[in-house]
């Protein structure tokens, strides 16, 4: 019975009237228009106030480029490599604080050039018609905009409005911070372009930028930001991508000003290349410094002995000697040169032993070939120690001191040190035996020289001393030229594939038209 009643009730119920529903809904059209209009107005206000961001990138490769002039006969420098681990080291260096400090300091990105727009002060960077050159070792006010107005006739007006009685300042040379006392309120100063300005909150020169013009009445702002804060900001913005663990690195950065992105990325790579090349050249640079000291000493000896030889000939009227005396003296000169070469090797080994036993860094060793060292085992072990020490110095700039990598490197260096000390002991013993043999030959030749008249003995002695100094000087001079050539031919392991460039960057934020549609 109940079932029949429910069936009849359902048959009598009217169906849903879509037309009536739409008519009723359209009766609220004013509310729809109002809401849509309000939404469009809100989106419009957001769009005109939003500062667009841009992303640009650069691409580099980490290669193992060896010196093109390196041959088996070139012993001044060592070539070690392998890209393995080098890419990760470069990535770590690029994210290190010290690297970004160099970039920010080089570009002076702690100075912001601003211009008032409708809703905010926009960073205009190189579009500003002027640039700031700070007075060295002076303090500048931080995070407080200074208004610069152009008055004409190379005059400018600086305005600032202090709301506090003490302001934070920073010396951008030493990076030290301090505070200065000021009186609050509006302050106005009239200065000249290209003339040093010395104010409590700003010390420097405002000069017109090349290829930029200004109009009388133009107004701009400069703002000094905390150096460490700027470094942290750009360090966080730099993104590094290493696709499929290859030797390619893609560096990208997002910012509001494309010119700043371009300059920062390119300077970042430029400083990286220079630092890597300097470390690669460290061994040759130390060798050149060692050679220069030896050259200066030998040049003084050579000049002194040449003067002595000429003076003795003039005083004693001796200009020609007999053939037999010259032959004996020539042999004795050769023996003395050989003895000098052996003594130079022994002195190098002694210095090397002391250096190994007392030093913790092995990047300042001069090349063994300077002393005529040709022992393959010693050359190879010094090469390995120097390579490990250079690798260690790279990690020290970007890795924590308690990292396990340092323990591993130190163990490898200690093992090579022990082997090298044994090599030095063996080589020293052999040289001493050779020195004793040469000493006997010199004694025989000297006994023959002593049979000559005293004045001839004296001039032959001076000639031998001069020949020895000349031979040593020429040896160092040739090594100096070889080192210069090798250093000039060295290339960085960082190769640029694509430099950062603004080729019409588009904003990476949500498209404004899409926001209207939403």
State yes or no: pLDDT of 186 exceeds 70.
yes
State yes or no: pLDDT of 3 exceeds 80.
no
pLDDT the model gives residue 225: 95
State yes or no: pLDDT of 320 exceeds 80.
no
Q: Fill in the DSSP letter of residue 177.
A: E
- The pTM of the whole model exceeds 0.75: no
pLDDT grade, residue 351 (50/70/90)? confident
How large is the average pLDDT for residues 408-430?
84
State yes or no: pLDDT of 397 exceeds 70.
no
Most confident of 217-226, 328-337, 475-484: 217-226
How large is the average pLDDT for residues 113-130?
88
How large is the average pLDDT for residues 390-399?
67
pLDDT the model gives residue 394: 65
Q: Tell me whether residue 4 is exposed, middle or buried, using C-beta atoms within 10 angstroms of its C-beta: 0 to 12, 13 to 18, 19 or more.
A: exposed
pLDDT tens track for 249-299: 899 999 888 999 999 999 999 999 888 888 777 767 777 887 888 788 878
Lowest mean pLDDT across 166-170, 309-313, 317-321: 317-321
Q: How far apart are CA 352 and CA 427, in angstroms?
A: 12
pLDDT grade, residue 80 (50/70/90)? very low
Q: How far apart are CA 122 and CA 131, in angstroms?
A: 16
**Distance, C-alpha 482 to centroid of its chain:** 25
State yes or no: pLDDT of 513 exceeds 50.
yes
Q: Helix, strand or coil for residue 213?
A: coil
How large is the average pLDDT for residues 237-251?
87
Average pLDDT taken over every residue of the chain: 79
Q: Helix, strand or coil for residue 132?
A: strand
Q: What φ, ψ does residue 52 adopt, rounded to 5°?
A: -80, 145
- Express the helix, strand and coil content of the chain in percent, nearest 5 each: 55, 15, 30
Q: What φ, ψ does residue 165 adopt, rounded to 5°?
A: -95, -10
How large is the average pLDDT for residues 327-347?
77
Share of the chain above pLDDT 90, in %: 24
Lowest mean pLDDT across 154-168, 202-216, 225-239, 334-348: 334-348
pLDDT tens track for 126-172: 889 999 999 999 999 999 999 999 998 889 999 998 888 889 999 99
pLDDT the model gives residue 313: 65
Q: Tell me whether residue 140 is exposed, middle or buried, using C-beta atoms within 10 angstroms of its C-beta: 0 to 12, 13 to 18, 19 or more.
A: buried
Q: What is the DSSP string of 30-97?
A: HHHHHHHHHHHHHHHHHHHHPPPPEEEEEEEEE--PPPTT--TT--SS-----STTHHHHHHHHHTSH
Select the more confidently predicted residue: 506 or 201: 201
Angle 467-447-462 from CA coordinates, rounded to 5°: 25
Closest by Cα among 145, 476, 148, 465 to 290: 476
Q: How far apart are CA 193 and CA 157, in angstroms?
A: 10
């Amino acid at each position: 019975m109940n079932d029949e009643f429910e069936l009849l009730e359902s048959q009598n119920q009217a169906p849903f009237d879509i037309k009536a529903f739409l008519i009723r809904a359209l009766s609220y059209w004013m509310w729809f228009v109002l809401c849509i209009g309000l939404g469009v107005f809100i989106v419009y206000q957001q769009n005109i106030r939003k500062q667009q961001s841009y992303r640009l990138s650069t691409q580099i490769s980490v290669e193992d480029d060896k010196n093109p002039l390196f041959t088996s006969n070139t012993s001044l420098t060592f070539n070690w490599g392998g890209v393995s681990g080098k890419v990760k080291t470069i990535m770590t260096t690029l994210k290190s604080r010290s690297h970004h400090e160099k970039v920010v300091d080089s570009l002076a990105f702690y100075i912001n050039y601003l211009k008032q727009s409708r809703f905010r002060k926009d960073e205009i960077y190189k579009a500003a018609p002027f640039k700031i050159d700070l007075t060295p070792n002076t303090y500048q006010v931080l995070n407080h905009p200074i208004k610069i107005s152009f008055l004409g006739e190379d005059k400018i007006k600086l305005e600032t409005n202090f709301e506090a009685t003490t302001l934070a300042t920073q010396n951008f040379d030493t990076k030290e911070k301090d505070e200065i006392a000021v009186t609050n309120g509006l302050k106005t100063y009239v200065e000249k372009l290209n003339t040093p300005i010395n104010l409590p909150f700003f010390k420097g020169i405002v000069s017109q930028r090349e290829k930029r013009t200004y109009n009388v009445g133009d107004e701009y702002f400069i703002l000094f930001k905390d150096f460490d804060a700027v470094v942290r900001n750009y360090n966080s913005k730099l993104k590094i991508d290493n696709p499929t663990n290859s030797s390619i690195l893609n560096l990208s950065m997002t910012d509001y000003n494309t010119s700043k992105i371009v300059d920062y990325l390119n300077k970042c790579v430029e400083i990286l290349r220079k630092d890597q090349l300097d470390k690669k050249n460290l061994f040759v640079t130390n060798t050149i410094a060692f050679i220069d000291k030896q050259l200066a000493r030998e040049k003084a000896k050579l000049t002194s002995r040449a003067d002595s030889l000429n003076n003795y000939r003039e005083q004693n009227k001796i200009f020609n000697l007999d053939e037999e005396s010259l032959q004996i003296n020539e042999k004795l000169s050769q023996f003395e040169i050989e003895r000098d070469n052996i003594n130079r090797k022994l002195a190098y080994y002694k210095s090397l032993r002391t250096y190994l036993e007392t030093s913790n860094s092995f990047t300042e060793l001069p090349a063994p070939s300077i002393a005529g060292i040709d022992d393959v085992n010693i050359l190879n072990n010094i090469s390995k120690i120097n390579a490990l020490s250079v690798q260690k110095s790279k990690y020290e700039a970007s890795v924590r001191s308690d990292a396990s990598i340092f323990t591993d490197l130190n163990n490898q260096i200690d093992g090579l040190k022990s082997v090298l000390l044994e090599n030095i002991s063996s080589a020293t013993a052999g040289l001493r035996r050779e020195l004793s043999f040469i000493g006997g030959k010199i004694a025989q030749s000297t006994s023959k020289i002593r049979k000559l008249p005293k004045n001839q003995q004296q001039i032959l002695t001076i000639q031998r001393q001069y020949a020895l100094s000349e031979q040593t000087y020429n040896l160092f001079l040739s090594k100096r030229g070889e080192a210069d050539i090798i250093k000039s031919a060295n290339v960085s392991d960082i190769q640029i594939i694509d430099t950062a460039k603004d080729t019409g960057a588009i904003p990476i934020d949500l498209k404004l038209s899409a926001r209207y549609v939403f």
